[in-house]
């Protein structure tokens, strides 16, 4: 994975030994490059990279927010100390008492590739619960996986994929991005070389339209698009901070842009709705939809799997048009079904 950062955030003195020592002291990180959960925000996945800059220094990038910079900047943000004070105290070994964060390190995936296979009856059964056929999967850029090869910087390691294993493929700026999804895996549910700038199903979105749904995952987006006929997309995570120009482009192209993030009602912190609120604060034109907790399902694909795609469609359309200003729910479903499916 390449990062478009050069020198260490304008720091006058680049000192990799100092940076490594600070990472170990404050975060418990002892080797780079690496991925960790963000120490600056709620982060259900490891979306915080620490790596060497092309022109020296050790840098970080939070793929959920787009924030990046030097190790000094990071530690300064975490401690509230100025960079000059940090350098002075660290050099004099007079570091103030602090709470050391022991961050879980996940190896950096430099590259990923797969070999594919034909869809099986097992695949058909799994995806049918979400109203999606194997033909739909091919059109949505989803492929059944036979083997997975990953490069963590020391060469490729190849291993067999699990029974349910799928490659989500997106092409952006002349590069193929692959995210492997193994829904039943206990160890490797997700593997990815995809960065935060890549939107799921982006190349399939129509030039313009009445409605668009931004949801939490590619599976949710496919389920909604296929069932409702309303275009849907998803960023790489709910915590991803979108490019402002991209959001403005979507508001120009679609009359109504809906946000349908997870309703994590069973968690101590409702992460999905937390990130929805953060996004709506910056983009108040977004219309937020929250699945009722009465159904016991946090997202559209769970709702479809538990109650069937027709119930999922009914619930989502009720949320979209509950104020009665649009067509009644039944006639709307009849009208939009297949209306904007790109295949």
Mean pLDDT calculated for residue range 292-304: 95
Helix (H, G, I), strand (E, B) or coil at 18: helix
Alpha helices in 59-119 (DSSP H): 71-79, 83-92
Distance between CA atoms of 60 and 5, rounded to whole angstroms?
A: 9
Burial, 52: exposed, middle or buried (Cβ in 10 Å; 0-12, 13-18, 19+)?
middle
- Greater model confidence, 284 or 336: 284
Query: Which alpha helices (DSSP H) does the chain contain, by range?
Result: 16-27, 71-79, 83-92, 121-128, 134-139, 218-228, 244-253, 271-282, 300-307, 309-321, 329-336
Checking if the pLDDT of 147 tops 70, the result is yes
What pTM does this model have?
0.68
Alpha helices in 67-217, H assignment, sequence order: 71-79, 83-92, 121-128, 134-139
How do residues 240-290 score in pLDDT, each as one tens digit? 888 999 999 999 999 999 999 999 888 887 888 988 999 999 999 999 999
Give residue 108's pLDDT.
Answer: 56
| CA 322, 199, 63, 47 torsion-angle sign | positive
Span 114-146, pLDDT tens digits: 999 999 999 999 999 999 999 999 999 999 999
| Among 49-53, 103-107, 247-251, 334-338, the least confident range | 334-338
Q: What is the pLDDT of residue 110?
A: 59
Instruction: Place 3 in a pLDDT band, splitting at 50, 70 and 90.
Output: very low
Torsion of CA 294, 300, 306, 312, to 10 degrees: 80
pLDDT at 323 over 80: no
Q: What is the pLDDT of residue 332?
A: 42
pLDDT above 60 for 178: yes
Output the average pLDDT for the chain: 82
Q: 246 near 328, Cβ under 8 Å?
A: no
Partners of 217 in the β-ladder: none
Do the beta carbons of residue 96 and residue 57 sit within 8 Å?
no
Q: What is residue 44's DSSP assignment?
A: S
């Amino acid at each position: 994975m390449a990062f478009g950062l050069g020198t260490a955030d304008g720091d006058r003195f680049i000192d990799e030994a100092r940076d490594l020592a600070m990472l170990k002291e404050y975060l418990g990180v002892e080797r780079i490059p690496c991925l960790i959960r963000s120490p600056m925000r709620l982060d259900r996945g490891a979306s915080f990279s620490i790596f060497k800059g092309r022109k020296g220094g050790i840098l970080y990038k939070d793929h959920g927010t787009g924030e990046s910079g030097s190790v000094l900047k990071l530690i300064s943000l975490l401690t509230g100390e100025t960079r000059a004070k940090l350098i002075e105290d660290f050099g004099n070994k007079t570091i103030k008492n602090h709470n050391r964060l022991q961050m879980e390190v996940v190896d950096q995936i430099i590259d990923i590739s797969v070999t594919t296979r034909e869809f099986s009856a097992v695949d058909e059964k799994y995806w049918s619960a979400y109203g999606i056929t194997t033909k739909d999967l091919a059109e949505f850029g989803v492929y059944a996986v036979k083997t997975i090869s990953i490069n963590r910087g020391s060469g490729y390691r190849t291993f067999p994929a699990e029974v349910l294993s799928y490659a989500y493929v997106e092409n952006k700026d002349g590069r193929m991005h692959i995210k492997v999804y193994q829904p039943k895996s206990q160890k490797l549910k997700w593997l990815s070389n995809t960065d935060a700038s890549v939107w799921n199903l982006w190349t399939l979105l129509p030039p313009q339209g009445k409605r668009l749904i931004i949801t939490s995952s590619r599976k949710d987006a496919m389920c909604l698009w296929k069932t409702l006929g309303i275009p849907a997309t998803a960023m790489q995570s709910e915590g991803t901070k979108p490019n402002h120009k991209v959001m403005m482009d979507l508001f120009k192209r679609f009359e109504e842009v809906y946000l349908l993030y997870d309703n994590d009602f069973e968690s101590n912190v409702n992460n999905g709705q937390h990130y929805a609120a953060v996004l709506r604060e910056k983009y108040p034109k977004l219309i937020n939809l929250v699945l009722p907790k009465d159904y016991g399902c946090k997202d559209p694909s769970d709702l479809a799997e538990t109650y069937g795609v027709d119930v999922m469609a009914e619930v989502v359309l009720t949320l979209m048009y509950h104020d009665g200003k649009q067509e009644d729910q039944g006639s709307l479903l009849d009208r939009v079904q297949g209306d904007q499916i790109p295949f």
